[in-house]
Amino acid sequence: MRGATQARWAACAVAVVLTATACGGGDDGGGSGADGIVSSSWGDPQNPLEPANTNEVQGGKVLDMLFRGLVRYDPKTGEAQNEIAEKIDTTDSQNFTVTIKDNWTFSNGEKITAKSFVDAWNYGAALKNNQKNAYFFQYIDGYDKVHPESGKASADTLSGLKVVNGTTFTVKLSQKFSLWPDTLGYAAFVPLPQAFYTDHDAWLSKPVGNGPYTVDQYAKGSSMNLRRWDGYPGADKAQNGGIDLKVYTDNNTAYTDLTAGNLDLVDDVPASQLKNVEADLGDRYINTPAGIIQTLAFPFYEKAWNTPGAIKVRQGLSMAINREQITNQIFQKTRTPASDWTSPVLGEEGGFKEGLCGPACEYDKAEAKKLIQEGGGIPGGQLKISYNADTGSHKEWVDAVCNSINNALGNNKACVGGPVGTFADFRSQVSTQKLTGAWRAGWQMDYPLIQNFLQPLYYTNAPSNDGKWSNQEFDDLVDKANAESDKAKAVTTFQDAEKVLAEQMPVIPLWYQNGSAGYSDRVENVSLNPFSVPVYDQIKVK
Amino acid sequence: MGRYVARRLLQMIPVFLGSTLLVFSMMYALPGDPVRALAGEQTVDPQQIAAMKKELGLDLPLWHQYWNYLVGLFQGDFGTQIASGRPVADIISEAFPITVRLALFAFIFTVVVGISMGVFAGLKADTLRDRGLLVLTLLLISVPSFVLGFLGQYFFAFQLGWVQPNVSLEASSDELILPAVVLGSLSLAYVARLTRTSVAENLRSDYMRTAVAKGLPRRRIVGVHLMRNSMIPVVTFLGTDLGALLGGAVVTEGIFNVKGVGYNVFDALRHREGATVVGIVTLIVVVYLVASLVVDLLYAVLDPRIRYA
């Protein structure tokens, strides 16, 4: 019986070990009140944290805390307001004079001058620096020299940028673009300190900026601790002591930690938890519109889709999709059915217009079938909607859209989903015009302007016009709107251009995406800005 | 013995080269362009993509890329990640210590609990406690590890509050116990069953009867004569199991937020980070090779009839 006793002892040892961990872990909360530290979920940024090289939200979060530019978008309304800029003047919508306030410095004490901006922009635009956001500088005169479409750069700096004195510089654009100052809130346009160029590696491992926070500690791939910068000259000083960003394996584990009280803020509630979120968090759950629209795009490089009949087919397909039902059941109301090609975050003044798409975006089974038949049926007899299967659970809604279309047409094989294994492969196929059917497309705005929802996507040969749609009337209207010096007029002209989209239906608008977040009862005053990034500086610790 | 070990070590070289080449070509064959994917939904001009590829050496033919990789490897350079520009060696040196600890905990749990349970049941085969063990282990084998993981998280963290549901960034040892138990429970079931069968069988063997007839104390009969002879199949299993544990557990690591090898391989695969995948997989291969060598050497310790020359 001795053997038996030993075994029992071993089993007990395990039980003891398990109970011993009972109060392990513990709370790492850092104080409370104005100096309280907020812990927040994070994902590993998919690029070094250079402002002109960051185009995804995880890196964007950090830049939003570390940097301020000439202009800042109001976290609530999205309206562009001067931050470092004293004024940005123009008489002809093409030549701008930028004057900056002279009380701004970087957190290392270096003064911010006109040169801080001009050097940073030249760096971002230059081909040799491989910055992903280089195309943001494309409107500045001389961009084709520093970043030619082929061959070597023939200039190092943008000829359109000139430093006048310490606080003034001039910008010459290559075309008229009246809303250009409103684009300057994007991270690519922030000023950079000298340390960025002189000791680049050191800067990357501990970025220095001019925003309300400074980097205290940065462990690549796992965490970043940001602390309030007391010397911050701006009006939007941080209301908390700092932010601890922690990388999680996915949004599920982050949500688990939030419900266990180990984390204060999760800015992406996993889809699988949306049903529980009310019970888990109550009113500590945010679900607000973000500047993201999801669409179905079509290949206009394929002859069959580029015919007058195909317009009717696309309109019919659009009417066959029951957006209301899909957003309610699959997305649990974290998407809103789309009825134009922009986003509600622009606001009425900014150019968002509900219902601009008209009946073509309303669900009407009978009319849908009629239109598709009139247009000669779906090219090829079947609509294949391609999507990437690895992220974002697209399969569910693509199948639902197909179901909806099949239902309307009374044909089980009218529409099928076409999964592509990885996002990398999917984007390769889309951007090299390999797809012959429709595909899921999404657009997250770079800056809250109606121009950003139209020009990069539908203008002839625009960088993100993957379907190669081209329409003279649309292009003319966009050009006209860009040249318009009055902002309100420019917006209505852009809306006129948008009406061309309603007539031609080059892409089918599906829904506007919301940003979601949940937070612990330790913090308050949590909100998301129009880019669905938490407004970190306003969070208060109880 | 020394020659045998040397020969085995030399054999590792072709296996190592072959496996890196295999993994490298598989990554190369995957569709999609990792550099292009960096830009997300945005479009980046093709020239810039070409420039980045050139910088990273991704524009070269497969054999040349592989050659460059091997040359770098022998200089201790595992390459760099495409997206973040971090050296892969950094990622490995961060992920492996966590996984090694997790694997060791799981391994110790498997060995101690599994063998004890096996001996406990095997000594009284076909009794109630033996049947009980068989049912329990069958249950463990048939329940997928993610179910166990979520159940463990729900009961021990949320209901009883004994542990934290997730492993924090520091991955302190007490946080790793629950994931280790979940990770080890499948192997535990196998080890318990192997031990039980082996013990039950060896109890009936001649040398056991001789030992009992000699009047040896029971502790010595069970502890030395029975155990040593019953351990060979268990050690074989444990050897490969240790390799599997060190190779990372994507599912378990995912549930408990462990940023170990499994998570990093999975993440790198998703982003098509070739160098990271090849680097980690290569290390896992080496771990397997070493583990199997240790197992073979242990045979000789357990059973003196086995000799290596």
pLDDT at A30: 53
- Please tell me the distance in Å from A54's CA to the nearest CA on chain B: 9
CB B27 within 8 A of CB B304: no
Question: What is the reported pLDDT for B41?
Answer: 65
CB B117, CB A7: distance < 8 Å: yes
Partners of B256 on chain A (C-beta within 8 Å) are: 253
- Nearest chain A CA: its distance from B133 CA (Å): 12
As a whole number, mean pLDDT of residues A141-162 equals 90
Interface of B with A in 280-299 (CB under 8 A): none
Look up residue A112 and give its DSSP letter. Answer: P
Task: Please count the residue pairs, one from chain A and one from chain B, whose beta carbons lie less than 8 angstroms apart.
Answer: 200
Q: Strands, DSSP E only, in A10-155?
A: 37-42, 71-73, 80-82, 85-90, 95-100
pLDDT in tens, A465-503: 889 999 999 999 999 998 888 889 999 999 999 999 999
Dist CA A513 CA A341 (whole Å) = 12
Contact status of B55 with chain A (Cβ, < 8 Å): yes
CA A493/CA A477 separation, integer angstroms: 6
Report how far residue A61's alpha carbon sits from residue A130's, in angstroms, rounded to the nearest whole number: 21
DSSP H or E stretch at residue A256: helix A251-259
Are A249 and B254 an interchain contact pair (Cβ–Cβ within 8 Å)?
yes
d(CA A184, CA A447): 8
List the single residue in A19, A149, A464 with the smallest CB-CB distance to B47. Answer: A149
Distance CA A216, CA A205 (A): 11
**Residue B129, phi then psi, degrees to nearest 5:** -65, -30
- How many other CB atoms sit within 10 Å of the CB of residue A539? 22
Under DSSP, is residue A23 helix (H, G, I), strand (E, B) or coil? coil
CA distance B192 to chain A (A): 12
Give me the half-sphere count of Cα atoms (radius 13 Å) on the Cβ side of residue A356: 24
CB contact under 8 A, A56 and B40: yes
Measured between alpha carbons, how far is B179 from B260 in angstroms, rounded to an integer?
12
pLDDT for A469 equals: 93
ipTM of the complex: 0.81
- Rg over alpha carbons for chain B, rounded to the nearest Å, is 24
Q: Is B270 on the interface with A (CB under 8 A)?
A: yes
* Average pLDDT for chain A: 88
Residue of B nearest to A149 (CA): B47
Nearest to B83 among A46, A222, A257 (CB): A46
| B254: chain A residues, CB-CB within 8 Å | 249-250, 252-253
CB distance A63 to A74 below 8 Å: no
Chain A CB within 8 Å of residue B39 CB = yes
Do the chains contact at A427 and B36, CB–CB below 8 Å? yes
> Helix, strand or coil for residue A389?
coil
Residues β-bridged to residue A97: A89, A170
Give strand pairing partners of A38.
A243
Q: How far apart are CA A437 and CA A398, in angstroms?
A: 13
Greater model confidence, B193 or B302? B193
Distance CA(A356)–CA(A450), nearest Å, equals 13
Residue B229 CB partners (closer than 8 Å, separation 6+) = B202, B205, B207, B302, B303
Q: Is B40 on the interface with A (CB under 8 A)?
A: yes
Is A523:A540 a contact under the CB 8 Å cutoff?
A: yes
The pLDDT assigned to B52 comes to 80
Distance, CA of B260 to CA of B271 (rounded, Å): 17
Which of B90, B166, B181 is opposite residue A257, by nearest beta carbon?
B166
Using CA atoms, how far apart are residues A354 and A338, in angstroms rounded to an integer? Answer: 8
Which pLDDT does position B146 carry in this prediction? Answer: 85
Q: In Å, how far are A20, A328, A383, A455 from A318, measured between CA atoms?
A: 60, 18, 12, 22
Interchain contact, A425 vs B123, CB within 8 Å? no
C-beta of residue A418 within 8 angstroms of C-beta of residue A385: yes
What CA–CA distances, in Å, run from B159 to A13, B164, B181, B257? 22, 11, 18, 19
Of B100, B102, B104, B78, which Cα lies nearest the Cα of B91?
B78
Residue in A closest to B180 by C-alpha: A18
Burial (CB < 10 A; 0-12, 13-18, 19+), residue B55, is exposed
Q: Using the structure block, give the residue that is written with the tokens 């690549």.
A: A220
Query: Is there a contact between A453 and A445 (Cβ–Cβ < 8 Å)?
Result: yes
Q: What is the pLDDT of residues A22-31, one digit of tens each?
A: 333 334 445 6
Contacts of B48 in chain A (CB under 8 A): 127, 130, 132, 134
Mean pLDDT of chain B: 86
**What interhelical angle do A365-374 and A308-320 show, nearest 10?**
160
Of B147, B142, B154, nearest in space to B186 by CA: B142
Two tokens, residue A258: 């939030």
Per-residue confidence at A15, pLDDT binned at 50, 70, 90? very low
- Contact partners, residue A304, CB within 8 Å, separation at least 6: A310, A379, A380
The CA distance from A369 to the nearest CA of chain B, in Å, is 32
Contact at CB, B32 and A421, closer than 8 angstroms = yes
Interface contact B253, partner A, CB < 8 A: yes
pLDDT in tens, A358-386: 999 999 999 999 999 999 889 988 999 99
Name the least confident of A240-254, B28-42, B50-64.
B28-42
Which of A162-171, A266-275, B13-22, B279-288 holds the top average pLDDT?
A162-171
A contacts of B38 (beta carbons < 8 Å): 46-47, 132
**Contact at CB, B47 and A262, closer than 8 angstroms:** no
| Nearest residue, CB atoms, A18 vs list B47, B177, B255 | B177
Main-chain dihedrals φ then ψ at residue A147, nearest 5 degrees? -140, 65
pLDDT above 90 coverage of chain B, percent: 15
pLDDT digits (tens, 9 = 90+) for A427-440: 888 888 889 999 99
Compute the C-alpha angle A492/A495/A501, nearest 5°.
Answer: 160
3-class SS of residue B101: helix
Q: Which amino acid is at B241?
A: D
* Cross-chain Cβ contact B157/A260 below 8 Å: yes
Q: Is B294 helix (H, G, I), strand (E, B) or coil?
A: helix
pLDDT tens digits, A174-212 = 988 888 999 999 999 999 999 999 999 999 999 999 999
Q: Tokens 């984390």 map to which residue?
A: A263
Quote the minimal CA–CA distance from B213 to chain A in Å.
Answer: 18
Token couple for A3: 């053997």
> Taking Cα atoms as reference points, which of A283, A434, A291, A280 lies closest to residue A351?
A291
Output the CA angle B48-A185-A334, nearest 5 degrees.
90
Chain A: residue whose CA lies nearest to B168: A25
- Extract the tokens encoding B230: 């019953």
Residue B97 confidence (pLDDT) above 50: yes
The minimal CB distance from A431 to the residues B43, B153, B174 is found for: B43
Q: How many CB atoms lie within 10 A of CB A382?
A: 13
C-alpha span between B21 and B24 (Å, rounded): 5
pLDDT level of residue B158 (50, 70, 90 thresholds):
confident
* Cβ atoms of residues B265 and B248 within 8 Å: yes
Task: Give tens-digit pLDDT for A24-58.
Answer: 333 444 566 788 999 999 988 878 889 998 888 88
Residue bearing tokens 């998703």: B270
Dihedrals phi, psi of B190, to nearest 5 degrees: -65, -45
Chain A residues within an 8 Å CB radius of B178: 18, 21
pLDDT attached to residue A9 = 39
Cα–Cα distance for residue pair B126/B140, rounded to 1 Å: 20
Asked if A147's CB is within 8 angstroms of B41's CB, the reply is no
- Domains for chain B: give ranges and CATH numbers: 2-74 (no CATH), 95-270 (1.10.3720.10)
Whole-number Cα distances in Å, A449 to A54, A291, A453, B166: 20, 10, 7, 41
Q: Which of B56, B136, B174 to mutate to test the interface with A (most CBs of A within 10 A)?
A: B174
Contact B84 A426 (CB under 8 A): no
Q: Considering only the beta carbons, identify the residue of A7, A24, A428 that sits closest to B163.
A: A24
Chain B residues with CB under 8 Å of A256 CB are 153, 165-166, 257
The whole-angstrom separation of Cα A212 and Cα A210 is 7
Q: Could you tell me where the beta strands, DSSP code E, fall in A10-109? A: 37-42, 71-73, 80-82, 85-90, 95-100
Q: Are B41 and A427 in contact (CB under 8 A)?
A: yes
pLDDT at A1: 37
Q: What tokens does B213 get?
A: 């007839």
Nearest Cα residue to A254 out of A59, A60, A519: A519
Nearest CA in chain B to A423: B37
